[in-house]
A and B are shown apart, each in its own frame.
Chain A
Amino acid sequence: MTDTQNLNFEIETAPAISPLKSDGKVVSMAAAGQWTLIWHKFTRNKVAVFAGCVILLLYLIGAFVEFLAPGVPEKSKPQYTYAPPQQIEFFVPDGNGGSKFLMHVKGYKIEVDPVALRRSFVPDENKIIPIGWFVHGQPYKLWNLIPADLHLIGALDKKDTVYFLGSDRLGRDLMSRLIYGTRVSMSIGLIGVTISLTLGVVMGALSGFYGGWVDLLIQRIVEIISSMPTIPLWLGLAAAIPLTWSPLQVYFVITIIVSLLTWTALAREVRGRFFALRAEDFVTAARLDGSTERRIIFRHILPSLTSHILAVVTLALPVMIVAETSLSFLGIGLKPPVVSWGVLLQDAQSIRTVATAPWLLIWPASAVVIAVLSFNFLGDGLRDAADPYGE
């Protein structure tokens, strides 16, 4: 280097950065509130976003089951028991060597196994059942209010039956039943979580805020409840439901039973956050600013808590769904004629059924797995994004 005294030094005022892409813009987050930041952090997790879309789709399905299902779930056809799923095909021979477009499924013919004398259905290549979009089929009442008979997809002729996912032991359409089951299974989670959220947040906040003997009492209750073996307890409670009650009443009681046992985790989470936040410097600062305890809770602690609660709720939902499924599978939860994924799985209890009609196990089980996985991925993503100030 030179030894000149009046050497000019370049003064830098910030770290050196080059954008990753040529059009890279530095987005200003200076005036972004917590939800904007949470959203930005959440959308970075692609799996969670995808899971969120799946869940949204499931709830949409749940909202419009009557329209989306090709039939109604109770409609049974004894001549088609354990009919296998039908494939949708698009072209039929037009008689002079070519083929023309016609969406259809193949009908069934019955084959009898000469040794076992067992009846089984195989697709009949000659029997073509045309299907189409927005067809008029079996009548229903949308949300139990509006009478209609429009279905998204179905056989053009009302007298034909189609089983896209196969049929069960009474010849009922599994696809319609699965779609109807979505409504019950997905909503039991929502209602159950609302109850346990209210219980959990109130108990957790009381515990975290007052501390002392209130905390002691609530935490011991939480411990007692979470130490109970769940399945026998559910069994006992469900057995206590009078047989005379309508399926709807049973449905609500089951939700309450499930949620009475799951609020404990939420209460602990809320209490822990409360304690952590109470020790934060900014809460001390608020106290020294003269804020009352009420203001500290509602202005400072709860806003920091909401995003965490949202994440916990998302992780609590699949627990509810699994609980409902296992109860119904054991035959002590929801009972027919209510249709839920757990009720559907009841049909797949015996090995014989699973061997002859595997679709009865595969489809409802996949529905449960997809829903639970999606909720878990979404919940994980939300939990990571819940505190966007960590980095």
Chain B
Amino acid sequence: MLEPITARRLDIATHLRRTLGADFVVVPAPDHPLVMRSVDVLAGGRSGLTAIMMSTAEELRRPKLFDARLKLNMMALPPHTAFVYVAVKGEIWRGRQEAFAAELSIEDHASREDLTRLATNPPKTRHLQKAERSQKHSEARFADTYRLARALRRGLRHRLAVDNVAVSRAPYRDRLPNEIEGAFFPSTPSSQAIANLALEGADRWYDIWDGEPEPRPSAAGAAFVQSYPMARGDPDKILRAAAFAGWVMMPLQTDRSFEELGALVQRYTRLK
């Protein structure tokens, strides 16, 4: 049976903390302000940044989810981050090999030493200029998208939900004018539902080309919510991470027409 991802993360983080020494910070499941589902372990020290990724049981069944998580994290973390993939027992890896500086198998006894070696001396396989350029384009589009989401929320603070009380897990889907994808949550979406939506949006908004993520020229989607969910410790995280993944969260009850909202999304969230 597959060991839970939390146990695998902790196991690798404990090993790296022991072997890398106090110069490094090793974080299992880091909380990045721009993504809902982060890499599994991040190690930062004098030699640079190493992001370790492993597939969850669901990602093994649906590799597109892993692909989307990889795209979002490659776009969010600095371009000099080396990504390393760790395969689980018996796994046949069918992913994007060119995006990873190295691929290891947890079955291999030498893999732990390899991880320490890679974190101490991360391979320089990234196209730094290309990655930096893509990130700049993506950040500019994110700024506009996030600004639009905050502007549409203005005046609705009283509708903010605390700690995801009433939740809806799956949205109804429809299209808005201007070919804008719409997702309609009848109540407060759970953070899990927004995380799933974010992974779906990543496919529409980003691609990986030659091992580096690139923004795609599509407009964002519109995620309609009855009330806004909040994450503990970072009240705007869900709104921000949704915007980074290509979704403008907006209130279900609004004076604006769908035509007007579709035009706003089209105008503000295109790649410039």
Query: A and B, one complex?
Result: no
